[in-house]
Structures are given as structure tokens and as C-alpha cells.
């Protein structure tokens, strides 16, 4: 089986945007198991000759805060169980939120290798804002812009190195 990279983070940070950038058109068809697979999407990525599965979490949109946090937690836990490497995604525009810290705690406990990715770094001015994310404790953040397709190569270098 291919090694598995899971993209984890609270809603709206850009997980699905980056997922699509990584897989291109290699979306995997997964038989629907009610309640389990419908909120996770699988694709295939390839980088430097290495193929891997990619999991995008958080497909269901919820508008209630408690439900959102419950769902983020549950989906992140499932993805983490399956993953060999985790991409922890945060958003430079909002800074570190309570939900980010909760996800960080969970990822620490998992002891799996984590790559910290800061998305929405659309311009150079925002580069200076990525340093606060060091305090999450996962080392050097990788700056991304899903909208502009910036940083994807750096992200895949870091993630596949840990596979």
C-alpha cells in the first residue's frame, strides 16, 4: 500500500485547495461507508518519483461552533490514525486560533511526524506573519498560497522526506 499523507486543520484554512493542488486530477474513488468516508476525500500524489495517498479532511460544512469543533476533532483523529505523515494547516490571515491549538495538542499526542503549513501567504508582506506559528511547536512553518500555487513544492519536499 502507498504511504498516507493527511491534511488536517480547522475549517476554511485552505485544506481542500491545497489537496487539489497536490493531487491534480488523481482523485481516488472510495466506496462510501456511511458516516466514515463521506467526510474524507482520498487522492493520489506523486513527488520526486514517490507516490502516496492524500487524505483531505473536513468535507462537511457545519455552522454551529460546537459541532464544528467536534467534527474537526473526530476527523483529525481518524485521519491521524491512518496517516504516516500529517500536514497541519493553519491560516496566516487569522493567526493562531483556539481551534488550531486544540488540533496541535491532538497532533502532539499522536506522535506522528507533522509538517506545519501556513496557507494564504499570498504576498511578501504576509511572510513576516508566519513566525508566530513557531509557537505551535512543530518547527519551521512552510509558507503556502493555495490561490497562487506558491510553496507546494516545498511542502511536498518536507512531507515526502518524512515518509
Under rule CB under 6 A, residue 14 binds ligand GDP: yes
- Are 51 and 69 spatial neighbours (Cβ–Cβ below 8 Å)? no
Evaluated on CA atoms 121, 112, 78, 158, the torsion sign reads positive
Nearer Cβ to ligand GDP, position 111 or 129? 129
For the sheet containing 85-91, what is the strand order?
40-47, 50-57, 4-8, 85-91, 114-119, 142-143
Nearer Cβ to Mg ion, position 10 or 141? 10
Which of 12, 16, 20, 110 binds Mg ion (CB under 5 A)? It is: 16
- The response to whether 122 counts as a known ligand-binding position is yes
Question: How many residues can be counted in the chain?
Answer: 163
| DSSP code for 145 | B
Under rule CB under 6 A, residue 58 binds ligand GDP: yes
- Nearest to residue 121, comparing CAs of 101, 149, 83, 82? 149
Which of 12, 96, 113, 129 binds ligand GDP (CB under 6 A)? It is: 12
Under rule CB under 6 A, residue 71 binds ligand GDP: no
Q: Which residues are annotated as a binding site for GTP?
A: 9-16, 56-60, 119-122
Residues binding ligand GDP (CB under 6 A): 9, 11-17, 58, 119-120, 122, 145-147
Residues binding Mg ion (CB under 5 A): 15-16, 58
Amino acid at each position: 500500500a502507498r504511504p498516507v499523507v493527511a491534511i488536517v486543520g480547522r475549517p476554511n484554512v485552505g485544506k481542500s485547495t491545497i489537496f487539489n493542488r497536490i493531487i491534480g486530477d488523481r482523485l481516488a474513488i472510495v466506496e462510501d461507508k456511511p458516516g466514515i468516508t463521506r467526510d474524507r476525500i482520498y487522492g493520489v500524489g506523486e513527488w520526486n518519483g514517490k507516490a502516496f495517498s492524500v487524505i483531505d479532511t473536513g468535507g462537511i460544512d457545519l455552522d454551529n461552533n460546537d459541532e464544528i469543533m467536534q467534527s474537526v476533532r473526530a476527523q483529525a483523529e481518524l485521519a491521524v490514525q491512518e496517516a504516516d505523515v500529517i500536514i497541519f494547516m493553519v491560516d496566516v490571515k487569522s493567526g493562531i486560533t483556539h481551534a488550531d491549538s486544540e488540533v496541535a495538542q491532538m497532533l502532539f499526542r499522536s506522535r506522528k511526524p507533522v509538517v506545519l503549513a501556513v496557507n494564504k501567504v499570498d504576498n511578501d508582506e504576509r511572510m513576516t506573519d508566519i513566525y508566530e506559528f513557531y509557537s505551535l511547536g512543530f518547527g519551521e512553518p512552510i509558507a503556502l498560497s493555495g490561490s497562487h500555487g506558491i510553496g507546494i513544492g516545498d511542502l511536498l519536499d518536507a512531507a515526502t522526506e518524512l515518509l
